[in-house]
Amino acid sequence: MAGLLMKVAEVNNGDVCYANDVVVAVTSGNPYIDVEDVTTAGWIRIPLGAGALYSVPIGAKFRLPINEQTKGTMGSGFFKETVSNHGLLVKEEIDNHPARQAYLKRVLGQT
């Protein structure tokens, strides 16, 4: 669990990516996530609220902004693997990771 908390501390407004299946249930607050649009190099903002259930595809780059709007957001994460094998990638870990490469091949239709 400590390893995951250390990773989460690096997340603030930076790019992150999951290498394992994770589903998050938002229980309170008004958070949003920004998901990378790999075809335009832009970002798609997805507003979430209490009761939202979301999952970002393995290998997709996204951001979890922490600001006045998102402070106080509560939720639960459900990991396919153990929490110690959470698969949260940050910064330089992302681009060359096999999960990211497989995602880009799927999305961009590369073989």
CA–CA dist 92, 94 (Å, integer): 5
The residues facing 61 across adjacent strands are: 17
Tell me the residue range of the domain where 61 lies: 2-108
Give 10's contacts (C-beta < 8 A, 6+ positions apart).
90, 91
Q: Tally the domains of the chain.
A: 1
Q: What is the CATH number of the domain that holds 56?
A: 2.60.120.10
pLDDT in tens, the chain (111 residues): 445 444 555 555 678 888 888 888 999 888 888 999 999 989 999 998 889 998 889 999 988 877 777 777 888 878 776 666 667 888 788 999 999 999 999 999 875
pTM beyond 0.75 = yes
